Structure 1
Amino acid sequence: MNIPPPRPSPDTPTRRDVTMARLLIVSLLVLCACSSLRGQADSMARKGLLVEAAAIYDDLSRQNPNDGELVLVRDNLRLRALTRLLSDARRARVEGRDEDAEDSLLRFLNHRAEWNTKLDGGLESSLREEVAGTRRHLQKLVGAPAGKGHALTAEQALLRKQPLLAHPELSRVARDMEWLVLQSGKASCLRLRDTSTEDSPHWRELVFRYCGHWREYAPRPASAPELFGPPSWSGTVEGLDAAQQARLEARLTQAFESSAWFSPGGPARPEFKLGGRFVTERDSQAVALTAPWTESVPYTDHEDRTETIEEPYEAEEEYTDSDGKTKTRTVTKYTTHTHTYSVPVTRYRDVPRTFEYHALRLSQAHHLAVASAATLDARRSPFVLAMQDQLSESGHEHDVTFEKGKVRPSQPSFTPAETWLDAKVEALAASFSQQLATYWQESYCSTPSLTLDEAARCARAGAAVPAQVARVLSDILGADATQVPILFASP
């Protein structure tokens, strides 16, 4: 016999009702979140934070692609933000604050490109005025030193403006400024070639690099006696295999050949004595570990309860019968009183516990000590390079699981020896480069009175030149004297 399922009463919610209710709750939460963010964005817009407000509306429009109003508000905020930025640029330009004007113009162009915003006629006109104002400013900032033959100074000013000039709206300005700088560099190269002398190898090297910087020819002089060819290495670092030793020597050789001490035609090869030790130590030890956890322990307590009791009693009461006579009768009444009693109850308390388990404590330590020395300046003590470093790591290995104590299987991961060694070799090469530059400056930049060739020799370090060097070089190079180290940034 098939018994049909009971039909739900009108008050019993169906599965469809529950689903619809959940969807309604989710929709209300989304609507509340959206309203809250819109309120935040509108508040930011009123405070003038238009770019930030537009970003919030952009997020909202992505989350609600069918809400066209969000897109309209976002686009309006973007246009207002662009108008504000361009207005700030125009105001700063009028007040003579060209750098501030170009900062605002750069932000305007960055946001316009990011948003792909189409400008109206008024903004297009203001943009053209700002481009013209930028051109006038760069004529002073870049064109003025270029016209004086200070091409390196002009180039550095132009490089500082590259983020702005990279925008297509200023491409013609960028090309014109680059042409001015290049022509200035070429003209200065021709002038400097006439000042070269046979007894000034360092000055002629500077001119060779200066002309090469502007794609012009100048003869390269023979190597000066202070310079060296590729270095040679003697000795080994204990613990390195042949490939690791070769990588170390190659990286240090590369650093030396990028220094002031190197010339491809150097008359001598410096011999660097190399020594040291590389070792990786590993250890394993059984250990007992503990993990704290909390256990909920039951216990019996007593609590008082109160109950109300109604007790019956008989009483006489008067009443009037149908004939109007007063009579008495016995009736049952009730009196109420409370009764307090104690009952046992089960409660729980948190008791701190410790979970004990066994694991292997694994440890690893990399140690590297490297020292190298060579005679680079016979007037001084040998050049010495030294580095010592180590990396110690440890962890526990086990396969124990105890969720209450947050204990899960563990397998420590250590830095591979090859990876750590490569990083240390790079650090050693960087230190080598820095110390070579310092050693060169100590050897050839400390003389109070310098000739032109000695000043050019000091500049080979590729670092900021001392004041006395800048004074000597400025007699010929002018403002470019402080920019000369750029020419020696690479071999």
Structure 2
Amino acid sequence: MATIGCGSLRGRADSAFEKGDYEGAARDYAQVVAQDPTDQEARAKLAQAREKIFLGLLAEVAESKRTGDKERVFSALGRLLDRARGWNDPGSPAIQKRTHDEVAWAEEQIGIECGALLARHAPLLAEDQLEARDRQVLRHFPGSTVKSVITDTIHEYAETQCKRLAPANPAASPYFADLVGKYCAHFHVTTARVPVLPYHVSRVVLAGQVDGLSLEGRDAFATAVQKGLERSSFWDPRAEAPAIVTVSGKNHAAFSSRKMTLSRPWVERIPYQAMEEYQESYTEYYPDTETYYDTEHYTEFETYTHSCGDGKNTCTDTRPVSKTRQVPRTRQVTKSRTAYRTKTRPVTRYREEDRVFAFEATERSGNYEVDVAAHIDFKQGVAPFAVHLSNTKSDSGIDHDSSFPPAGVSPSRSNLQTRDAFWLEQLPTITQRTTLSAHSHWVALFCSQSTYSSDEAARCYYVPAAERPKAARDVLFGSFGPDIDNVQRL
């Protein structure tokens, strides 16, 4: 069977090669060689198929260079190098020479690309571009020094950039100093930063009261608000200042009950007596005539020869012989057979009748209402903001102890939610609204100007990218260049 399989695979490989499908041919020839390493013809064909693939990719590289499609150049060259490494086969000396020349060109282009980005004051973008080209090409050459050389150049430039950007007095422009600090720390360059930025808090102090809220519910509310602030621009665990959260509102639940009679349908099977006919078997005897065979004796005469007594002649004569034969006879006999007769007998049968099972129960209802407002004040010369949540819910259930399996009735409990449990359901929404309100508040406070200083623009950059105004970006672009769109991800 192995020989048949190999033969079929070999035929497929030959067919693919003839059709110009060198990828398929190389894959199948490799399997043939794996099954029979002594197959020199398959080895030769495998080398030819791979050579065709290398030549095709080198042709794609050359054509892409001619048309100026640099991305396609790197893509094709990367695929060529990936094949050579995966196959552990760099190709013929001519292929290796052409590949070496293309890699040298690619390394030169990578240096030019990164240099152009550094000229635009964008070491972050240069670093990203180098990583992308490394994944495409350079990683296939562990001995290449191009990546380390360019990396050193990027870091040297970034160090110079950091010295230029770092403010002489970080306290006078704390947000810009912090942005520069994050930027430079990525390149392992340390710059002076203020320990804690203005308007940042590290804890929540809860004031006020919500009617109907337990102490545990109050603590849970404070935790929910804190989680929301932790996801906002106002939070810094190093800060000493608290957020004063003054809460008001209500958390009410009203419960009622009423007695009721419930019913469930069921079907009863009632037995009754009936007569049914059935077939009873019995033995029936009847006369019959049967044939049998009897032995009969009879005499026949046979001819025989004997000497006539003169010693010369033979005489013929007859003699009687006794024989037997079977002669058919008939006789009267009595036989038996199974017969059936109809009889009746009493049986128990069932009929189904609809019934209703009635039982006493208590319906319990709960009506829940929460309406709470949190006034959040940072006490640092900025206006406070509010978070509001209002929600209602109604629920009901049945209590009873009845059990009647035929009707599918078993004891039940309403298990209505408690007032505190309903409150806990609201806390994820409180957290989410706190975060959204805090972001909106930061934008309203610090991102609504028509003009910005460097520190004001950096302060505005503490909100999500979609909420940053173009005017703030334009100011920071003058300092960070195109890197400004990537600084905040660090």
TM-score bracket for the superposition, by shorter chain length: 0.5 to 0.7
Q: Deviations over 1:236-290 (max 9, x none)?
A: xxxxxx9xx99xx79x85x9657533324324234789xx9xxxxxxxxxxxxxx
State the distance in 2 between where 1:196 and 1:32 align.
80
- The letter of the residue matching 1:449 is T
Count, aligned residues? 328
- Residue matched to 1:150: 122
- Residue matched to 1:206: 179
Provide the identity percentage: 22
1:199–1:431 CA distance, 2 compared to 1 (3 A)? same
Q: Determine helix, strand or coil for the equivalent of 2:55.
A: helix
What displacement does 1:217 show?
1.7
Q: Deviations over 1:351-377 (max 9, x none)?
A: xxxxxxxxxxxxxxxxxxxx9978377
Matching residue within 13, 31, 43 for 1:38: 13
- The letter of the residue matching 2:376 is T
- Residue matched to 2:376: 375
443-452 or 64-73: bigger deviation: 64-73
| Greater C-alpha radius of gyration | 2
| Contact 1:260/1:461 (<8 A) preserved | yes
Confirm whether residue 91 of structure 1 aligns to residue 63 of structure 2: yes
| Contact 2:6/2:32 (<8 A) preserved | no
State the distance in 2 between where 1:139 and 1:459 align.
32
Confirm whether residue 112 of structure 1 aligns to residue 113 of structure 2: no
State the distance in 1 between where 2:463 and 2:197 align.
15
- Residue matched to 1:455: 457
Q: Determine helix, strand or coil for the equivalent of 1:375.
A: strand
What displacement does 1:479 show?
2.6
- Residue matched to 1:82: 54
State the distance in 2 between where 1:382 and 1:39 align.
76
| Contact 2:385/2:437 (<8 A) preserved | no
State the distance in 2 between where 1:455 and 1:270 align.
24
- Residue matched to 2:276: none
- The letter of the residue matching 1:171 is S
1:468–1:42 CA distance, 2 compared to 1 (3 A)? same
State the distance in 2 between where 1:476 and 1:468 align.
14
- Residue matched to 1:363: none
Matching residue within 178, 182, 189 for 1:216: 189
- Residue matched to 1:473: 476
172-181 or 49-58: bigger deviation: 49-58
State the distance in 2 between where 1:146 and 1:221 align.
28
| Contact 2:182/2:487 (<8 A) preserved | no
Matching residue within 185, 191, 207 for 2:164: 191
| Contact 2:50/2:91 (<8 A) preserved | no
- For structure 2, the residue ranges without an aligned partner over 5 or more in a row are 210-215, 252-371, 391-426
Matching residue within 217, 229, 236 for 2:202: 229
State the distance in 2 between where 1:146 and 1:95 align.
26
State the distance in 1 between where 2:10 and 2:459 align.
69
| Contact 1:375/1:382 (<8 A) preserved | yes
State the distance in 1 between where 2:376 and 2:92 align.
70
- The letter of the residue matching 2:131 is L
Confirm whether residue 173 of structure 1 aligns to residue 177 of structure 2: no
- For structure 1, the residue ranges without an aligned partner over 5 or more in a row are 1-22, 236-241, 277-370, 387-424
1:130–1:32 CA distance, 2 compared to 1 (3 A)? closer
139-148 or 425-434: bigger deviation: 425-434
What displacement does 1:463 show?
3.0
Confirm whether residue 100 of structure 1 aligns to residue 104 of structure 2: no
What displacement does 1:232 show?
7.6
User: Higher strand share goes to which structure?
Assistant: 2
1:200–1:438 CA distance, 2 compared to 1 (3 A)? same
| Contact 1:374/1:382 (<8 A) preserved | yes
| Contact 1:93/1:133 (<8 A) preserved | no
Higher-RCO chain (CA-CA 8 Å, sequence separation at least 6): 2
1:94–1:111 CA distance, 2 compared to 1 (3 A)? same
State the distance in 1 between where 2:139 and 2:383 align.
50
| Pairs within 5 Å for 1:88-487 | 88-164=60-136, 165-168=138-141, 171-194=144-167, 196=169, 198-229=171-202, 260-270=233-243, 375=376, 379=383, 381-382=385-386, 440-441=442-443, 444-461=446-463, 463=465, 465-487=468-490
1:85–1:225 CA distance, 2 compared to 1 (3 A)? same
What displacement does 1:472 show?
1.0
- The letter of the residue matching 1:74 is L
Q: Determine helix, strand or coil for the equivalent of 2:193.
A: coil
